[in-house]
Structure 1
Amino acid sequence: MKIRYFAGAAEAAGVHEETIDAEFEVSVADLVEQLGSDRERLAKVLAVSTLLLDGRAARSREEFVAPGAQVDVLPPFAGG
């Protein structure tokens, strides 16, 4: 699956994009855990981010992500 990070998420991840090999569906919660497992700063950002699964916002962390999905990580935006 292709993971794209935006704004502060990209900064925390150290990359704008990465690909993860997946052979089966995983829950959003498991994906978030995997992505942040060795990147503490990214884990904190992921905890408050919205994830888009193929352009649609994930409704819960229990939702499943298909192996070939595009996942966009959108941290909270500030401004007015």
Structure 2
Amino acid sequence: MVTVRYFAGARAAAGGVSSEDAEAGSIAELAQLLADRHGERLGLVMKSASFLVDGLACHDREAELPAGVTVDVLPPFAGG
């Protein structure tokens, strides 16, 4: 089980949910599970989002997610 926290547009795409628990073994699996749970809009956000796992950037969507971690979903932000 991992804790997922949504920020900015990801939160809006998840229907206003700011945090929830999910069972997933990787970021890719988590992204699919959450898109299935919340719909196509979140699925689109997940394709371009950045992910922090316990505060560290995770660029490998196939990397294993240990149980108990917190995954932050950060959509692309405007500006530089």
TM-score, length-scaled by structure 1: 0.88
Q: Percent identity, please.
A: 47
1:37 matches 2:25? no
**Residue 19 of structure 1 corresponds to which residue in structure 2?**
21
TM-fit CA distance, 1:79? 2.5
Quick one: distance in 1 between partners of 2:66 and 2:33?
Answer: 15
TM-fit CA distance, 1:50? 0.3
Quick one: distance in 1 between partners of 2:9 and 2:59?
Answer: 21
Structure 2 unmatched ranges of 5 or more: none
Residues 1-25 of structure 1 show CA distances to partners (whole Å, capped at 9, x for unaligned) of: 11000000000001111112x3xx6
- Give the aligned CA root-mean-square deviation in angstroms: 1.3
Structure 1 unmatched ranges of 5 or more: none
Q: Which runs of 4+ in 1 moved over 2 A?
A: none
TM-score, length-scaled by structure 2: 0.88
Count of residues in Structure 1 that have an aligned counterpart in Structure 2: 77
